[in-house]
Amino acid sequence: MNPARRPLVAGNWKMHKTAAEAQAYAQALLPRLATVGAEVAVCAPFTTLAPLIDATRGSPLGVYAQNMHEQPAGAFTGEVSAPMLVELGVDGVVVGHSERRQYFGETDRALCEKVPAALEAGLTPILCVGESEEERAAGETDRKLRQQVREALNRVPDERLASVVIAYEPIWAIGTGLVAAPEQAQEAVAFVRALVGDRSRRAAAGVRVLYGGSVTPENAPQLLALEDVDGALVGGASLEVESFAAIVKAAA
Ligand code: 13P
């Protein structure tokens, strides 16, 4: 971590927790955040957003959604737009998660519209990028990251680039317990930062790049100590208050 950038630890609950469970979680987590220097957020299912915002009002815990549509409104059955999230009081949104790319056909082309749409609406986008096991084995990690980062940020003006958060999440590390080695995480996260630097050196110095994929309380201190890692996007270990609070503590 670099003191010039405020660390962000975000828990991605994926399709877990009812509204009642989310409220109970917030009540248990909030007292643990009183003295934390890092920014902390949970990325929650749509149905839990309003109750979570009620339960966290005036607290330092950010509430993020896990997806949004790129258009502000329209005939897109089943979708939710950025202005709808902003009206609720949502702080940000995960876009381009590998599960959405793999199971729901999320494309770099849609992300090219989603990222600026989120920013314009006032949401902090967490753009997820990362290579598959096969791509890493074939030496294609850099090519994949270059394509994903360039395309998703293509329509973001240089002066807004540093407002995007990018999460490097190697697909082979997600939900597998196979966390990236510190050298692998540092190398890829620094490469992502350099890609932002191709657009603007100033933005590269300010943009926050997170690591995600099998982060636990045990491996978090080592990952979060890496020079270019500005925080973590945490899946499984964010579902329990105890383990998430321990990861947050490692970032503080
Ligand atoms: P796990 O922490 O469960 O590996 O999930 C990572 C992830 O996908 C966060 O977005």
Q: Can you give the chain as a three-state secondary structure string? A: CCCCCCCEEEEECCCCCCHHHHHHHHHHHHHHHCCCCCEEEEECCHHHHHHHHHHHCCCCEEEEECCCECCCCCCCCCCCEHHHHHHHCCCEEEECCHHHHHHHCCCHHHHHHHHHHHHHHCCEEEEEECCCHHHHHCCCHHHHHHHHHHHHHCCCCHHHHHHCEEEECCHHHCCCCCCCCHHHHHHHHHHHHHHHHHHCHHHHHHCEEEEECCCCCCCHHHHHCCCCCCEEEECHHHCCHHHHHHHHHHHC
170 lines ligand 1 (CB under 6 A): no
- pLDDT (0 to 100) of residue 252: 84
pTM of the model: 0.98
96 lines ligand 1 (CB under 6 A): no
- pLDDT (0 to 100) of residue 112: 98
Which stretches of the chain score pLDDT less than 70?
none
Q: Which of 13, 14, 168 to mutate to test the pocket of ligand 1 (most atoms within 8 A of CB)?
A: 14
- pLDDT (0 to 100) of residue 37: 83
Residue closest by Cα to atom 7 of ligand 1: 235
169 lines ligand 1 (CB under 6 A): yes
pLDDT digits (tens, 9 = 90+) for 1-34: 888 899 999 999 999 999 999 999 999 999 999 7
- pLDDT (0 to 100) of residue 2: 86
**159 assigned to active site:** no
